[in-house]
Amino acid sequence: MTVKGVDYSHYQGNPDVAAMQRDGIQFVILKAWEADNHDPEYKTNLANARQHNMPVLAYVWLHASDTHTRMQHCFDYLDGAVIALDWEQDGVPASIVEQWMDAYETYAGRQGLCYYGLYPPDNPTPRLGEWPRWFPEYCSTSQLKLQPWDGSPAPDWRHCWAIWQYSESGHVAGVEGSDCDLDQLAPTITLDDFKSWLNDGTPLPHRVDVVRPAIRLLQLALDHMGYDAGPPDGLWGPHTQQAVEDYSGWKP
């Protein structure tokens, strides 16, 4: 089952967390900080999420001018929520992200999350690959250029993701007035895994993905028999669905 989430800031006001939960949302990521300023709705949105036992992360928009003092003020303001470093501002070097990582690990005694896309402001370093990745790409699963974590031990998160931001124009019950970003966990990460990681930094457990290899074998077999299942990527998309229906003769 896909574990879905949503991220938002003061632009969405104060969403109705209970309504979001009824609509299938199982975690939220809230904007908390940028430069020397807190998001004006962060504390209210954090309290609402916690009132409904909604797992929550707090994201921080990084700037090249970030200093150690600014970082400490931010950490204090998060009120215990796990940090997500939003690395997308032009001109922010990887060294700034590493400074945030070092400072946060010293402050909180645990890892947070790193957010960056296919073309970040600088080349991601091996240090960045140590933190789980929140990855934006607004496309279907069959078009993804970066794949989810496959459950293997000691992942380099520069090459896979723990959370995928798959839409920037989503609509969720309880969020009024504007589009919002939609997210989901990698298939090998259960909601309980995610909660344990959030609560005390418990490492995400290694878990072999048996589904994707099975889908890949099915795609290869269908392609071999002349049914176009698309590239054998192990992801169930419209081509695979149509090939299965063509093979079976099933009609809606």
The predicted-structure confidence for 128-149, as pLDDT tens digits, reads as follows: 999 999 999 999 887 899 999 9
- Does the pLDDT of residue 216 top 90, yes or no? no
What span, in angstroms and rounded, lies between the C-alpha atoms of 113 and 84? 4
End-to-end CA distance of the chain: 23
- Considering only CA atoms, which of 61, 34, 56 is closest in space to residue 45? 56
Could you give the C-alpha distances from 180 to 13, 48, 146, 153, in angstroms and in order? 11, 18, 22, 33
What's the pTM?
0.84
> pLDDT grade, residue 251 (50/70/90)?
low
- Does the pLDDT of residue 1 top 90, yes or no? no
Predicted confidence (pLDDT) per residue in 29-82, tens digit: 999 999 999 999 999 999 999 999 999 999 999 999 999 999 999 999 999 999
CATH top class, domain 4-200: alpha beta
Per-domain residue ranges of the chain: 4-200, 211-248
Looking at residue 252, its pLDDT comes to 63
> pLDDT grade, residue 231 (50/70/90)?
confident
- Does the pLDDT of residue 250 top 80, yes or no? no
In sequence order, the β-bridge partners of residue 42 are none
